[in-house]
Amino acid sequence: MYNSQLPADGSNAPKGTSLGVGVFEPRTERHGNDRIRVLLKSFGLRTSLIRLKVIDALLSAADNDRSLGVRGVHSHLLELDIPLSFLSVREVLKRLCSEGVIVLNPDKSYSLHPQAAAMLHLE
């Protein structure tokens, strides 16, 4: 059976390499996606790439004592070569806010809800 992910010349790819070299390597993310997936599931949300990346951006900002608004999150994702529109990022932030995963601070920045942060930092 043909597998489009294997090299076409019949050779096997070296063990431990992934097709997503660069930004999307499994270990390049600061926080494990598995923990974020569990978090989203516990709030009744489906996992999506944009939700994973938005939450990871907020976690990274919190680790560096920074706060991010919509523009900050959007810029962070563009720096990671994740081409999402500003409107898409804003809508994801609004949805995560309405579900209680993140909160909108008085300065218009976003941060994880304390309950969500506690769930992620338990592991």
Q: Tell me whether residue 24 is in a domain.
A: no
Domain limits for position 89: 33-121
Q: Tell me whether residue 99 is in a domain.
A: yes
- For the entire predicted model, the pTM comes to 0.70
Asked whether the beta carbons of 84 and 50 are under 8 A apart, the reply is yes
Asked whether the beta carbons of 45 and 51 are under 8 A apart, the reply is yes
Question: pLDDT tens, 31-64?
Answer: 468 899 999 999 999 999 999 999 999 998 988 8
Asked whether the beta carbons of 49 and 90 are under 8 A apart, the reply is no
Q: Tell me whether residue 2 is in a domain.
A: no
Question: pLDDT tens, 3-12?
Answer: 555 555 554 5
Q: Tell me whether residue 60 is in a domain.
A: yes
Report how far residue 28's alpha carbon sits from residue 38's, in angstroms, rounded to the nearest whole number: 19
Residue 68 is given by DSSP the state B
| Domains: count for the chain | 1
Q: Tell me whether residue 64 is in a domain.
A: yes
Residue with tokens 């993140």: 102
Task: Return the CATH number at 112.
Answer: 1.10.10.10
The sign one gets for the Cα dihedral 49, 52, 57, 58 is positive
Mean pLDDT of the chain: 80
HSE of 58 in the Cβ direction (CA atoms, 13 Å)? 27
